[in-house]
């Protein structure tokens, strides 16, 4: 098992190389560059800047230079935010996004799983249908609708939280909730689906024939298998939530990674884009590994060696 | 007094295609310490009847349209759910057809066994575990204390069915209902499982209901046999009655269809035709279209029971006199 984990983690290296290479060339193939702007700058200054960031070198050379830097753990300077390195930007913005993401994950799982289990235990009844209707609503309502509604209710009407910005930890609660609600809806549907699949199995009939109560049948016999679909979704969902969302961070005016990521792509801030993408790739590899381990925990037929 | 007395049980399935009269007036009784074999082609309503007794049918589509099932002066069919749960797995245990799918693949055997005891007898997990190990030993599982912490997928089909049997033994159930316990197994394993059930039945005086579509399976173990066709009982009798003096043409057909040691290379007989569609209207005897001795009156009206003696009866227009007449 330990050997398996180490091997999986070592896979990060080729994955990073592939991601770095493809992002590098894609970014450079995209029209425009980091220093294009409406303001006309003289050719001299332009040449100076290009020389400073080695943009005047042939692409292959730039690529090798980038890989070399990467190997030493340096993601380089941001092209757009002068005096800030990519490492530093990620190190200061990721904790904000991660905190929002963790809060979101908490709401997503607690609301999502309990709704899914509730609906599945009342399968095809009006309670099930109303829970699933609610979930559909949660999936369909975009964060730019839910977020402002939250602010309106909790911040302006009730005055519990600040309207925007990040000063205290509790300022992250509403963004977390906003983000969590949509994922909660996905988790609810996946959990209901997973459980209703298990409920049809022969071994649930055996459990009934043993005289077990419905609660024991649900919690002990159904849940482990029924949670597998939600578990698969947990990997990508957690990654997306932890790395921040442009919409949520914009609505709540938070200095999170999500905004920088999207901005960097629009700005052609080559190093920052690459840094964010690589960071995401590492996170995805780790999350996928965690999901696979959770799979083995839930289903004893799954083994790794 | 019989341990279980079922009277006029009717179980219908209400489907979009129509009403399926899966069990249509089944009556039987089970004496303590006896083995009752229930035979009939697939689809004749054997499982539906057994599951109805324990309230295991999904309702809807199933609906119990009448009858009684007396067990210790209680009617199982109208017992509140809580009371029925106390009986299931405790006083009446059930073994299912497919051992590959009947055990929970996500849980250890130990969990699946001990929960029966902790639920019904409130014993400690430790105590339950040692009793579960003892039960596994009783059904011939070697190295039971190691085997019990394993998961079902680590067992073969035959071993899993032994585990299911061990589960039924745990609470010293008064009745064990085995629904096609060998159908999904290899022939050699089938024989071992039947032999195991037989020896356990003799050793502990179990009352056993053995459901199967294969007359060969019930031959060596049953005291009494019920023959079902299309949701109805068509013949009942002792094993000797059924095997040596079969009276209903369907039972005769089933017996002819058995492979026999003394006719190894001959063509196996099969009852011609197929059972009627489950949703078909019932008029007269539902075996009539396949019956080699069919008479015009078989297609209409009620078919009478013919009682040969206290134990042996069959549902047919061919009375014993008519049969003798034909033989002469
Ligand atoms: N869940 C169900 N829904 C609809 N029809 C069913 C269901 N279960 C069984 N039946 C029907 O009831 C009849 C009896 O089935 P069953 O009791 O399983 O037969 P057996 O066990 O003798 O093979 C069959 O016609 C079958 O199609
Ligand atoms: Mg059956």
Residue A280: inside a domain, yes or no?
no
Best B91, B95, B104, B174 member to test A by mutation, with max A CBs in 10 Å, is: B104
Residue A36: inside a domain, yes or no?
no
A217 part of contact set with chain B, CB < 8 Å: no
Nearest ligand atom owner, CA of B39: 1
User: Mean pLDDT across the stretch A288-302?
Assistant: 88
Residues with CB under 5 A from ligand 2 (ion): B 47
Residue A220: inside a domain, yes or no?
yes
Number of neighbours of residue B191 by Cβ within 10 angstroms: 15
Q: Cα of B48 to ligand 2 centre, how many Å?
A: 7
Cβ contacts of B114 within 8 Å, gap of 6 or more: B125, B128, B129, B132
Q: What CA–CA distance (Å, rounded) separates A8 from B209?
A: 53
Closest by Cα among A108, A148, A113 to A131: A113
pLDDT of residue B326: 66
**Chain mean pLDDT for chain B:** 87
Most confident of A39-43, A209-213, B274-278: A209-213
Number of neighbours of residue A34 by Cβ within 10 angstroms: 21
The pLDDT tens digits of the residues spanning B176-217 come to 999 988 887 788 888 888 888 888 888 888 899 999 988 888
Residue A107: inside a domain, yes or no?
yes
User: Mean pLDDT across the stretch B223-250?
Assistant: 90
pLDDT of residue B184: 77
Which two structure tokens, joined as six digits, stand for B232? 């109805």
Q: Cα of B43 to ligand 1 centre, how many Å?
A: 6
B13 C-beta closer than 6 A to ligand 1: yes
Residue B83 CA: distances (Å) to CA of B17, B120, B182: 34, 12, 30
Closest by Cα among B177, B244, B312, B229 to B40: B229
Residue A79 C-beta-side C-alpha neighbours within 13 Å? 24
For the full predicted model, state whether its pTM sits above 0.90: no
Q: In this predicted structure, which of A83-97, A107-121, A148-162, B255-269 has the lowest mean pLDDT?
A: B255-269
Residue A262: inside a domain, yes or no?
yes
Say if residue B273's pLDDT is above 90: no
Q: Which CATH architecture has domain B4-91+171-259+270-327?
A: 3-Layer(aba) Sandwich (3.40)
User: Mean pLDDT across the stretch A211-227?
Assistant: 92
Range of the domain at A246: 91-269
User: Mean pLDDT across the stretch B107-121?
Assistant: 93
User: Mean pLDDT across the stretch B246-262?
Assistant: 81
For residue B61, cis peptide bond before it (omega within 30 degrees of 0) = yes
B15 C-beta closer than 6 A to ligand 1: yes
Strand partners, B228: B233
Residue B27 CA: distances (Å) to CA of B42, B67, B226, B276, B316: 19, 9, 10, 22, 16
Helix (H) or strand (E) segment spanning residue B6 = strand B4-15
Q: What CA–CA distance (Å, rounded) separates B288 from B296?
A: 9
Nearest ligand atom owner, CA of B40: 1
CATH of the domain at A172: 1.10.3720.10
The total number of structural domains that make up chain A: 1
pLDDT of residue B327: 61
A124 part of contact set with chain B, CB < 8 Å: no
pLDDT of residue B149: 93
User: Mean pLDDT across the stretch A251-279?
Assistant: 86
Q: Long-range CB contacts (< 8 A, 24+ apart) of B315-318? A: B315/B232, B315/B233, B315/B234, B315/B235, B315/B248, B315/B285, B316/B234, B316/B247, B316/B248, B316/B249, B316/B285, B317/B285, B318/B249, B318/B293
Confidence band, pLDDT 50/70/90 cuts, at residue B263: low
The pLDDT tens digits of the residues spanning B45-66 come to 999 999 999 999 988 888 888 8
Residue A253: inside a domain, yes or no?
yes
The preferred substitution site among B9, B13, B50, B210 for testing ligand 1, maximizing ligand atoms within 8 Å of CB, is B13
Residue A281: inside a domain, yes or no?
no
pLDDT of residue A152: 84
Interface confidence, given as ipTM, is 0.87
pLDDT over 70 for what percent of chain A? 99
Say if residue B8's pLDDT is above 70: yes
Say if residue A208's pLDDT is above 90: yes
Confidence band, pLDDT 50/70/90 cuts, at residue B226: very high
Q: What CA–CA distance (Å, rounded) separates A51 from A28?
A: 16
For B26, phi and psi rounded to 5 degrees?
A: -95, 130
Say if residue A144's pLDDT is above 70: yes
The pLDDT tens digits of the residues spanning A2-24 come to 888 888 888 888 988 999 899 88
Closest by Cα among A292, A264, A291 to A276: A264
Residue A131 CA: distances (Å) to CA of A115, A150, B284: 7, 21, 50
Say if residue B258's pLDDT is above 80: no
Please identify, by atom number, the ligand 1 atom nearest to the C-alpha of residue B278.
Answer: 25
pLDDT of residue A157: 86
Residue A18: inside a domain, yes or no?
no
pLDDT of residue A253: 84
pLDDT of residue B117: 93
Closest by Cα among A197, A188, A180, A164 to A116: A188
The pLDDT tens digits of the residues spanning A234-244 come to 988 999 898 88
A123 part of contact set with chain B, CB < 8 Å: no
Say if residue A76's pLDDT is above 80: yes
Q: What CA–CA distance (Å, rounded) separates A273 from A270?
A: 5
Question: Does B90 sit within 8 Å of A202, measured CB to CB?
Answer: no
Q: What is the 3-state secondary structure (H, E, C) of chain A?
A: CHHHHHHHHHCHHHHHHHHHHHHHHHHHHCCCCCCCCCCCCCHHHHHHHHHHCCCCCCHHHHHHHHHHHHHCCCCCECCCCCCCEHHHHHHHHHHHHHHHHHHHHHHHHHHHHHHHHHHHHCCCCHHHHHHHHHHHHHHHCCHHHHHHHHHHHHHHHCCCCCCCCCCCHHHHHHHHHHHHHHHHHHHHHHHHHHHHHHHCCHHHHHHHHCCCCHHHHHHHHHHHHHCHHHHHHHHHHHHHHHCCCHHHHHHCCCCCHHHHHHHHHHHCCHHHHHHHHHHHHHHHHHHHHHHHHHHHHHCCCCCCC
Say if residue B30's pLDDT is above 80: yes
Which two structure tokens, joined as six digits, stand for B166? 């061990």
Q: Cα of A78 to ligand 2 centre, how many Å?
A: 70
């Amino acid at each position: 098992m330990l050997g398996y984990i180490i091997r999986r983690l070592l896979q990060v290296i080729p994955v990073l190389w592939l991601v770095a290479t493809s992002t590098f060339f894609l970014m450079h193939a995209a029209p425009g560059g980091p220093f294009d702007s409406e303001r006309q700058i003289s050719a001299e200054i332009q040449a100076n800047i290009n020389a400073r960031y080695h943009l005047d070198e042939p692409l292959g050379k730039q690529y090798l230079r980038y890989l070399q830097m990467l190997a030493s753990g340096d993601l380089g300077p941001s092209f757009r935010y002068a005096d800030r390195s990519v490492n530093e930007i990620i190190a200061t913005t990721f904790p904000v996004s991660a905190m929002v993401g963790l809060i979101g994950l908490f709401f997503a799982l607690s609301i999502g799983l309990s709704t899914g289990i509730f609906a599945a235990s009342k399968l095809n009844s009006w309670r099930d249908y109303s829970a699933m209707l609610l979930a559909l609503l949660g999936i369909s309502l975009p964060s730019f609708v839910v977020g402002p509604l939250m602010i309106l209710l909790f911040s302006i009407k009730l005055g519990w939280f600040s309207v925007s910005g990040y000063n205290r930890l509790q300022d992250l609660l509403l963004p977390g909730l906003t983000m969590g609600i949509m994922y909660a809806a996905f988790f609810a549907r996946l959990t209901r689906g997973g459980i209703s699949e298990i409920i049809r199995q022969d071994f649930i009939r055996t459990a009934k024939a043993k005289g077990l109560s419905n609660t024991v049948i649900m919690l002990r016999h159904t849940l482990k298998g029924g949670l597998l679909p939600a578990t698969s979704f947990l990997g990508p969902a957690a990654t997306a939530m932890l790395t921040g969302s442009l919409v949520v961070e914009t609505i709540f005016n938070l200095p999170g990674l999500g905004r920088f990521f999207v901005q960097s792509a629009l700005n052609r801030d080559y190093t920052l884009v690459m840094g964010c993408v690589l960071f995401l790739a590492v996170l995805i590899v780790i999350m996928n590994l965690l999901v696979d381990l959770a799979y083995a925990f839930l289903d004893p037929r799954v083994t790794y060696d | 007094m019989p341990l279980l007395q079922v009277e006029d049980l009717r179980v219908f399935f209400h489907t979009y295609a129509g009403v399926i009269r899966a069990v249509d007036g089944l009556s039987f009784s089970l004496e303590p310490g006896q083995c009752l074999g229930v035979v009939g082609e697939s689809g004749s309503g054997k499982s539906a009847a057994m599951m109805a007794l324990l309230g295991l049918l999904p309702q809807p589509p199933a609906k119990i349209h009448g009858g009684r099932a007396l067990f210790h002066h209680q009617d199982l069919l109208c017992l509140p759910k809580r009371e029925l749960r106390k009986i299931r797995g405790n006083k009446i245990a059930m073994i299912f057809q497919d051992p590959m799918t009947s055990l929970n693949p996500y849980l250890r055997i130990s969990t699946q066994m001990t929960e029966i005891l902790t639920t019904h007898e409130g014993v400690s997990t430790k105590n339950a575990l040692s009793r579960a190990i003892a039960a596994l030993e009783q059904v011939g599982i070697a190295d039971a204390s190691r085997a019990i912490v394993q998961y079902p997928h680590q067992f073969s089909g035959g071993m899993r069915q032994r585990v299911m049997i061990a589960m039924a033994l745990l609470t010293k159930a008064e009745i064990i209902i085995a629904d096609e316990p060998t159908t999904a197994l290899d022939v050699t394993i089938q024989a071992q499982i039947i032999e195991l059930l037989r020896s356990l039945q003799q050793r502990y005086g179990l009352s056993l209901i053995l459901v199967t579509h294969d007359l060969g399976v019930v031959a060596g173990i049953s005291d009494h046999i019920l023959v079902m066709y299309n949701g109805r009982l068509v013949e009942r009798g002792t094993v000797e009655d059924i095997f040596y003096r079969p009276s209903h043409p369907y039972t005769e057909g089933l017996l002819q269809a058995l492979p026999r040691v003394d006719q190894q290379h001959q063509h196996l007989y099969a009852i011609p035709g197929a059972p009627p569609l489950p949703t078909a209207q019932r008029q007269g005897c539902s075996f009539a279209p396949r019956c080699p001795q069919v008479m015009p009156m078989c297609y209409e009206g009620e078919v009478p029971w013919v009682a040969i003696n206290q134990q042996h009866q069959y549902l047919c227009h061919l009375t014993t006199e008519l049969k003798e007449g034909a033989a002469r």
